[in-house]
Amino acid sequence: MKNLQSEAAVASHPGPAVPAAPDHTQGAAPSGLPPWIKEHWTLLMVSIAGAALALGFFGEKFFGLPPSVALAFYLLSYAAGGYDVARHAVPALFRGEFDIDLLMITAAGGAAVLGEWADGAFLLFLFSLGHAGENYALDRARNAVGTLGKLMPRTAFVKRGDRLEEVPVEQLAVKEIVVVKPGERVPVDGIIVAGESSLDQSAITGESVPVPRKPGDEVFAGTINEDHAPDVRMTRLARDNTLARVMQLVAEAQEQKSPTQRFTETFARRFVPAVLVGTLLVIVVLPLGFGWTWSASFYRGMLLLVAASPCALAIGTPAAVLAGIAQAARRGVLIKGGVHLENLGRVNTVALDKTGTLTTGRFAVTKIVALEGIAEDDVLRLAAAVEEQSSHPLAAAIVQTARSRRLEFPSANAIENLAGKGIRAQVGGETVLVGALRAFAGESAAAQGGKVAVAVAELEGEGQTTVIVRRAATFLGVIALADEPRAAVAGVMQRLRAQGIDRLVMLTGDNASVARRVAEQVGITEVRAELLPGDKLTLICELQHDRGVIAMIGDGVNDAPALAAATVGVAMGAGGTAVALETADVVLMGDDLGKLPFAIGLSRASRRIITQNVGIALGVISLLLVAAGFGAIPLSVAVVLHEGSTIAVVLNALRLLAWHEQGG
């Protein structure tokens, strides 16, 4: 059967090209032929096989064509229809590999021995036609993603001094400033440094409407600039941009095999030799044991050979995996392999991180409680000095607030991150600790007559997150921050429950009051709060032990251990960040939790189609074996049913390219 690995779809753009997989239905033309013949070689061979078969059969039957001339046409049909099959099967046989192509060559050869040239030519014609049809259909699945390569602009307008120069994108360097004109595609990954615009990011993130972008926002190569002409500072080389990485990961994912695919391939490898041995036994035993003629037993053996060939079984699962992964990528969901496609469809429990997953992750400082003798700005200034070195959302909010107040804060050194607790540093020769209540091991209860503990309790009781600031042994104050749930996240939880997800669990390092407030807003009833990263990992393992198949949804950074431990780790992609792409099994490229029900629904549809295809394949094989065993059908009918089932499972798999959540 044809090799289903992904072809070099990204070769047409400057990103990293995925090596082309060998494919014995394509590129099989002998060297030295004109390019147009090589390009249409498969179609040409099928056409010659069909035309020669028709001329030989109808010429002999209806127009008095001499048998010798008809035989010449049949031989031409054999050569054209069997060229590609033999080119693959014969070398495989010498390597000790027995595959389905070998069964077809053997059956056609057997028909020739019996003098049934028309049946043999018909078999090879339909088999080669089936290969061509499979190739066309499966290329549609590949091209659903491969056409993204055409979105990459070849050149960019770069600011160099006072001039704009048009430069090939592969020659650009990081930090160069690119001007993106209205209506054109963004040529690079970068950050807007001047100007605003709206961008159509559907090719990367699957977002259905253009999104506004302003200075400081990230933009991605291949997206469409709708109106103004912003200046973009390049952050990644062309070969490393998000579009190139996504396409390469999709190509690699399409090569990975699902559990069902591995089973069917193992079955086929063992089944083909068994069919050959069984055929040989039929040919030998029937004449010796039951008095059949050799020609009759040989014909029955060839009939069984065609009937038992598991072509549809071998092609049905990888075709569905290919189409499922392609459809997900088109909608902004990156599923990194067939095993994850199948596993996501089996999920019954979903664990979700809070910050950045259920909430926007964009905190704002809501209140500063300064202890006696300390100014609010001094608390904020010192906290910002330490947090400037951190990438945590709370840290970003504190630093942003300090800058908005135009505070100048000192530099910090000897930075030490306390996982899940806070951050410690040296500022002006003194140790400053900024962190959650648990970072102080009960010290805050006695601090300033218990004022720190009281302030923390009051603020957290209002559903806010708190950060305590201490310099040396002196507590300076408490900073309160708030983060709001993502828009429509409550509806996403309802959709998950409607899909049969019967357990939704929030896992967060935040305090219990804040966690419960967010949980009530989004409709989650099970909350596990004040967790360190290691605690999340432990809980995921416990849930997996109790529930079996579990998905963990997180931001791809702090949740990396839990994402790795879950059956399926799903990262909020933040538009395709490198960590998210590399950490999780599934990435929601648009940073949109609303794509999770789509991904689960698509995975379940893929599993249904895989099951249907396996059922169709095994059903047709069983039917043909029974019919062939009793001699109830001729060889030509067996060939038609065999090839028909192969095309049927491919077309069934291609239904996934049109799947959508409602009515999918």
Which tokens go with 165?
């120069």
Catalytic, 535? Answer no
Report the C-alpha gap between 278 and 385 in whole angstroms.
Answer: 78
Stated as kind and residue range, the H or E segment containing 469 is: strand 465-471
Report the C-alpha gap between 298 and 279 in whole angstroms.
Answer: 9
DSSP state of 21: P
Which of 101, 189, 353, 378 is catalytic? The answer is 353
* Cβ neighbours, 10 Å, residue 111: 28
The answer to whether 356 and 349 have CB atoms below 8 angstroms apart is no
According to DSSP, the β-strands at 503-507 and 526-528 are: parallel
How crowded is the C-beta side of 298, counted as CA atoms within 13 Å? 14
Torsions phi, psi of 477, nearest 5? 165, -175
What angle separates helix 100-113 from helix 117-146, to the nearest 10 degrees? 160
Stated as kind and residue range, the H or E segment containing 647 is: helix 635-654
Question: CB-based contacts of 392: which residues, under 8 Å, 6+ apart?
Answer: none
* Cβ neighbours, 10 Å, residue 449: 10
**For the CA atoms of the chain, what is the radius of gyration?**
32
The answer to whether 281 and 629 have CB atoms below 8 angstroms apart is no
Stated as kind and residue range, the H or E segment containing 414 is: strand 413-418
The answer to whether 413 and 425 have CB atoms below 8 angstroms apart is yes
The answer to whether 589 and 582 have CB atoms below 8 angstroms apart is no
Long-range contacts of 162-166 (CB under 8 A, 24+ apart): none
DSSP state of 368: E
Torsion from C-alpha of 336, 340, 341, 343, nearest 10 degrees? -170
Question: CB-based contacts of 313: which residues, under 8 Å, 6+ apart?
Answer: 264, 267, 268, 614, 617, 618, 621
The answer to whether 434 and 469 have CB atoms below 8 angstroms apart is yes
The amino acid at 512: A
Residue of 315, 302, 316 whose CA lies nearest to 104: 302
The answer to whether 264 and 15 have CB atoms below 8 angstroms apart is no
* Cβ neighbours, 10 Å, residue 431: 14
Long-range contacts of 413-421 (CB under 8 A, 24+ apart): 415/386, 415/389, 417/390, 419/532, 419/533, 420/509, 420/531, 420/532, 420/533, 420/534, 420/535, 421/532
Report the C-alpha gap between 518 and 352 in whole angstroms.
Answer: 12
Residue of 136, 143, 108 whose CA lies nearest to 42: 136
Tell me the DSSP string of 282-330. Answer: HHHHHHHHH---HHHHHHHHHHHHHHH--HHHHHHHHHHHHHHHHHHHH
Q: Catalytic amino acids?
A: 353
